[in-house]
Chains A and B, each alone.
Chain A
Amino acid sequence: MNTSEISDPFKKARIENGCGHIEDQNDPATMVLRLKDVRKCAHNWKTFQSGAEPGRIVIPSEVAIRTTRQIPFEVDPPEHKGYRDLVEPWFKRPLDPTYQEKLKVIIDTIIDEVLTKESIEVVGDLSLKLQSRALTLLLNTPFEESERWISWGTHVFRSEDSSLDGDKANILYDYIDEEIDKAIANPGCDLYSVLLASEVNGKKMTKEEVKGVMILTFAGGRDTVINALTNSVAYFAEHPESIQQIKENPEITGKAVEELIRYFSPLTQMGRVATQDATVCEHAVKADTRISLCWASANRDETVFENPNEVVLDRKLNPHIAFGFGTHNCLGATHARQIMNIFLTTIAQKVASIDILEAEENIEDLGDFKRKVGYDSLTVKFNAH
């Protein structure tokens, strides 16, 4: 009964050292492992910047495969604020009840469908579909677009033999270029059109800037949501009592969402580049080298969380940073939280139990550490009430 367990590989280093080390294409990074330190570094954007060379704050670095700056992700204050203020109201739309009703239809349909099958592969047949269809709501694009996104498979940026595949990433870039051109020719009410019609920091948004925002919504919201959903299915398969607990106490659903996201930490880490010599918990960080903010380690910090390695669905105080912290905290969090909330509610209503038939774990290789983030494939059977 531990297929669904996500262990904490950082514990020893976090307690003894506070930092870890990761090699990456000759641009190593110091991994910051304690919650308070991660928060402090995330807060200190002057010393630890996001607006470095495009791709450099991502680990593994994407400097070699792209030049488009992701917006607002790779921009520092004060410019960051202009972009962020522009997109923030749009990304709060998931709070609207009509948005939630549409999302519920998407999720109901998928759960009803998987309940009729003898077995399903969760990553491809449930998580990717759900994530793609839900994204049409967030971007306010036609539902049918999701079929194309689903056809790309789970890894738009990755091929079988290489974790960074520039050619494959081009599928997404070319698609977004096309969609931007369409929106220029025929403006509508989708996010492309809204951005194209906007001004930021006193200047009209350029095509390149719009592209930077759109790529980010595809990239940042894809693997993260897919892992959150797939890992939830594995967790509920091994903890049918948790399905029952949510069914009987629907008021804990919001807390359960936060706790699962803390436990899974679908985004393991994100980097920053030091603008000057600095220290992080007594470790020297040289100017122009990288640190990583390790959200996944911070979320198991034993000085903050009681029983950090246990899923406590109704955990009351849960100051996790799975959605980041400070300036760049996750723009898609409102959408992701709504997806998870409705997903959990629907499972509690319709599903009695889930049997795991086969599981292929996805283990990230992080130098000193190996961390499970989810599954390459997870085959299960859903059982109705």
Chain B
Amino acid sequence: MAKITFITSDNERIELEATSGSVMQLAVDNGVQGIDGDCGGVCSCATCHVHVLPEHVAKTGEASEIENDMLELDDNVSEYSRLCCQLEVSEALDGVVLQVAK
């Protein structure tokens, strides 16, 4: 079981727990504002953009080249940007805090 926290652009904190699936799916299933997941998680739409809080980046690891190429041209990109459809829920993510970009 991993605890994952989203902070929306309205500064709402949403704490969720999950054991599997993608972080994007978790957010969509729980109606987290700003995460639409339009493409269903194949890295084509960038509607699942989050900023990992700096103290938690070790938990999420590195983005792939394909993911980085998508993020590179996003208006709101930072060095902590991730497309959360590319984050698989696992113990490693437990406690992570994600700021929703949109």
Contact = CB atoms under 8 A, between A and B. Distances in A.
Interface of A: 36, 39-40, 43, 92, 95, 254-255, 257-258, 304, 315-321, 323, 325-326, 329, 333-334, 337
A306 to B, nearest CB: 11
B21 to A, nearest CB: 10
B30 interface: no
A316 B42 contact: yes
Given A92-B36, A317-B66, A319-B66, A258 B73 contact: no
Would you call the interface of chain B mostly helix, strand, loop, or mixed? loop
Nearest to B40: A254
Given A39-B69, A258-B44, A319-B43, 18 more contacts: A92-B36, A254-B39, A254-B41, A255-B40, A258-B42, A317-B64, A317-B66, A318-B42, A318-B43, A319-B42, A319-B70, A320-B44, A321-B44, A329-B45, A333-B38, A333-B45, A334-B38, A337-B38
Contacts of A334: 38
Interface in B23-53: 36, 38-45
A68 to B, nearest CB: 29
Contact of B43 (A43, A257, A317, A326): A317
B31 to A, nearest CB: 10
A54 to B, nearest CB: 26
A43, A258, A334, A337 — which one has the most chain B CB atoms within 10 A of its CB?
A: A258
A317 B42 contact: yes
A321 to B, nearest CB: 7
A266 to B, nearest CB: 15
